[in-house]
Amino acid sequence: MPTPPAPQPSRRRVLAAAAVALPAAGLLARSGTAAAAQTPAAPDRAADAPLAGGGDLGPNVIVFDPGTRGIQAKLDEIFARQERAQFGSGRYAVLFKPGTYHGLNAQLGFYTSIMGLGLSPDDTLINGDVTVDAGWFGGNATQNFWRSAENLALKPVSGTNRFAVSQAAPFRRMHVKGNLNLAPDGYGWASGGYIADSRIDGTVQPYSQQQWYTRDSSVGGWLNGVWNMVFSGVEGAPAQSFPDPAYTTLRTTPVSREKPFLYLDGAEYKVFLPALRTDARGTTWGSGTPKGTSLPLSRFYVVKPGATAAVINAAADQGLHLLFTPGVYHVDRPVEIKRAGTVVLGLGYATIVPDGGVSALKVADVGGVRIAGLLVDAGPRNSEVLIEIGPAGASAGHAADPVTVQDVFVRIGGAGAGRATTSLVVNSHHTIIDHTWIWRADHGDGVGWETNRADYGVVVNGDDVLATGLFVEHFNKYDVQWNGERGRTVFFQNEKAYDAPNQAAVQDGATRGFAAYKVAGSVTAHEGWGLGSYCFYKDDPTIVQDHGFAAPRRPGVKFHDLLVVSLGGKGQYAHVLNDTGAPTSGTNTVPSKVVSYP
């Protein structure tokens, strides 16, 4: 087998329809802006009237069945539009009805989701591939973001399916009848990803993948690891062996509930809501009908391009769930979820942009809310908080029916100037954060230390919050600030802000550098497994981080398998956690590791 190349810092990226007709405004629908002035006012006037659930899935959802002609040509057309459109406005969801499809290669570009419409992945078989590679970027997959594959069975033509991705590219509820290669052709770098509720019959081949998290799945084998490979509830996972090989393995996942998904029950669209599991291991679908409940599409307001926040909120207030179809939605007020058990599901990287400094999404202190499949893009006027799960001071317990936040991604800058003081605040107790990438852009448009200012990535104030697959990068201050009790994180990936101008800009009182993950001094119980932080201070390589992680030293505060890395020697970590762990040094990009703390 080929061996992964030695770490090379230069390869890192520097580093339903409503009863009223909604306006046909194209992909980019604005609310409260000059563009909105050109849009008929009927949707807002009709917001007081009852809204119908169900309806078609909008202009950017493409549905195939086994008898459809020209499937490959359509897949190729979408890929040609999206392959290089890293910060474009195109959004697509490609859905395959149950059945068998032959000879397809679905290449996935930016903002493209491919999904089967069966209740089980095995209901929809592609004798072919769902491919992600990195030819557009010279064989380097470290910018292969914002794309996904869900609820399909694949029988790869060569025996191996290639899915070379980095952040915000989930591989969920998939059955690969062969091997799965996570690296680009030629084994250029890739930088992290996520598998859940999937079965890979053959071997998962990470090769040059720097870090990866796999949850509640089954694998036939696992080839190698570079820095940080984390498994929880995975049958066939390699044994715990951190630091060498760098495998962190938990036999089960403490609490999990899979992402809601769209499927066909005969000719009727429904959304399946998987059941909550504790101490989960293996897939939800491997032995009979998965546990959970279904909602007919008639109980959803299908949000399509042109919808305003007023209409969306009116639908939620009258008791409809929300299904966002692919598009970019500018809102002049937050989307507010006040009713317990509400489902908010996005298709094809549906994107919410808050205008005028408002929040994008707020959830009341109610249980059972499921937020999934959305991208939030900060607007040019600073938002204090982009996503708020529970109001400040939330006090209700939700252990039996938690809020879940899954495949929800946040971006500040990159697609244009954006600012937000805090990206995600979790105030509700027992919330599950399952796969999120919270990103202050380090490249693209509107990027600069003050241009896309964003001080905090994730702030957790609620108690008993669990994060599985937490990716947070490049914030001006703390990437994660955890204030709640009994918090747990399984897998954390971080890069400190590349563009810090000097040491003074990242000075936290007497402490040099803001920790990537800080547990408040008042916390008495917290636990984390498989956490990594990297620095690449390109503008001032003399910057020192006193530590990557900070936490009070108490018996109830525990960490397992941590590492820090200086990419090419651009900056230094003096310690890993508090004053524990050796410093990073030199230009060899060698991690400093801590197996357990305290």
pLDDT band at 12 (very low <50, low <70, confident <90, very high): very low
Rounded-to-integer distance, Cα 165 and Cα 209, Å: 9
Contact by Cβ (8 Å): 452, 419: yes
In this prediction, residue 585 carries a pLDDT of: 81
In this structure, of 299-308, 500-509, 585-594, the range with the lowest mean pLDDT score is: 585-594
Query: What is the radius of gyration, based on Cα positions, of the chain?
Result: 22
Region 543-563: mean pLDDT is 97
DSSP 162: E
Instruction: Count CA atoms closer than 13 A to 490's CA, side-chain side.
Output: 25
The predicted-structure confidence for 345-366, as pLDDT tens digits, reads as follows: 999 999 999 999 999 999 999 9
Q: Whole-prediction pTM value? A: 0.92
Closest alpha carbon to 113 in 147, 88, 65: 147
Q: Of 179, 208, 193, 99, give the one whose Cα is nearest residue 146.
A: 193
Q: Give 289's pLDDT tier (boundaries 50, 70, 90).
A: confident
pLDDT of residue 501: 98
E strands present in 199-246: 199-205, 211-215, 218-222, 228-232
Task: Note the pLDDT tens digit of each residue in 241-257.
Answer: 999 999 999 999 999 99
pLDDT of amino acid 314: 98
Q: What percent of the chain has pLDDT over 90?
A: 88
**556 to each of 60, 343, 549, 551, how far by Cα in Å?**
49, 35, 16, 11
Across the range 449-458, mean pLDDT stands at 98
pLDDT for 586: 77
Tokens describing residue 563: 């590492």
Residues 6 or more apart from 441 whose CB is under 8 A from it?
411, 412, 413, 414, 418, 447, 452, 474
Phi, psi (degrees; rounded to nearest 5) at 414: 100, -55
- DSSP letters of 509-543? TTEES--SEEE-TT---EEEEEEEEEE--SS-TT-
Q: 189-193, 351-355, 495-499, 502-506: which range is least confident on average? A: 189-193
Residue 555 DSSP label: T
Residue 523 and residue 483: Cα distance in Å, rounded?
7
C-alpha span between 412 and 451 (Å, rounded): 10
Does the pLDDT of residue 142 top 70, yes or no? yes
Contacts of 405 (CB under 8 A, 6+ apart): 371, 372, 387, 389, 424, 426, 431, 432, 433, 434, 436
Which tokens hold the place of 491? 């897998």
Structure tokens at 458: 């994730």
17 pLDDT higher than 50: no
Closest CA to 372 of 386, 358, 383, 361: 361
Find out whether 126 and 103 touch, Cβ atoms under 8 Å. Answer: no
Task: Spell out a b/e string for 464-474, using b for 16 or more CB atoms within 10 Å of the CB, else e.
Answer: bbbbbbbbbbb
Angle of CA points 146, 3, 159, to nearest 5°? 65
Which of 458, 570, 440, 462 shows the shortest CA–CA distance to 515? 458
pLDDT value for 588: 83
DSSP 577: B
Mean pLDDT of 9-13: 36
Token code pair at residue 136: 């557009």
pLDDT at 7 over 90: no
Residue 495 annotated to the active site = yes
- Over residues 225-229, the mean pLDDT reads 94
Torsion of CA 234, 239, 241, 244, to 10 degrees: -90
**Across residues 131-155, what is the average pLDDT?**
97
Q: Return d(Cα 149, Cα 197) in angstroms, integer.
A: 12
- The full DSSP string for 199-211 is EEEEEEE-TTB-E
Catalytic one of 388, 473, 495, 527: 495
Eight-state DSSP code of residue 298 = G
Q: Is the pLDDT at 28 greater than 90, yes or no? A: no
21 pLDDT exceeds 60?
no
Structure tokens at 71: 């499937």
Structure tokens at 582: 């050796």
The dihedral over CA atoms of 229, 206, 414, 30, expressed in degrees to the nearest 10, equals -90
The pLDDT tens digits for 301-349 are: 999 999 999 999 999 999 999 999 999 999 999 999 999 999 999 999 9
Residue 380 has pLDDT above 70, yes or no: yes
What average pLDDT does the chain have?
91
Q: Which domains does the chain have, with CATH numbers?
A: 341-597 (2.160.20.10)
Neighbours of 336 (CB within 10 A): 17
- 98-128 confidence digits (pLDDT tens): 999 999 999 999 999 999 999 999 999 999 9
C-alpha to C-alpha distance for 326 and 374, rounded to whole angstroms = 10
Question: What secondary structure letter does DSSP report for 185?
Answer: T
pLDDT at 56: 87
What pLDDT, on the 0 to 100 scale, is given for residue 51?
67
Residue 591 has pLDDT above 70, yes or no: yes
What are 404-437's pLDDT values in tens digits? Answer: 999 999 999 999 999 999 999 999 999 999 999 9
Cis peptide before 334 (omega within 30 of 0): no
> Which string of DSSP letters, residue by residue, matches 325-344?
PSSEEEESS-EEE-STT-EE
Residues 6+ apart with CB under 8 A from 178: 154, 155, 156, 158, 159, 160, 161, 201, 202
pLDDT at 344: 98
Q: Contact at 8 Å (CB) between 376 and 411?
A: yes
Q: What gap in Å lies between CA 556 and CA 534, rounded to an integer?
A: 26
Cβ–Cβ under 8 Å, residues 78 and 112: yes
Alpha helices in 235-326, H assignment, sequence order: 309-317
Q: What is the mean pLDDT of residues 506-510?
A: 95
pLDDT computed for residue 8 by the predictor: 36
The 10 Å CB-count burial string (b at 16+, else e) for 544-556 is bbbbbbbbeeeee
**Secondary structure element (H or E) that encloses residue 301, with its range:** strand 300-303
- Residue 1 has a CB neighbour count (10 Å cut-off) of 8
Short-list 201, 209, 157, 217, CA closest to 183: 209
Return the higher-pLDDT residue of 31 and 269. Answer: 269
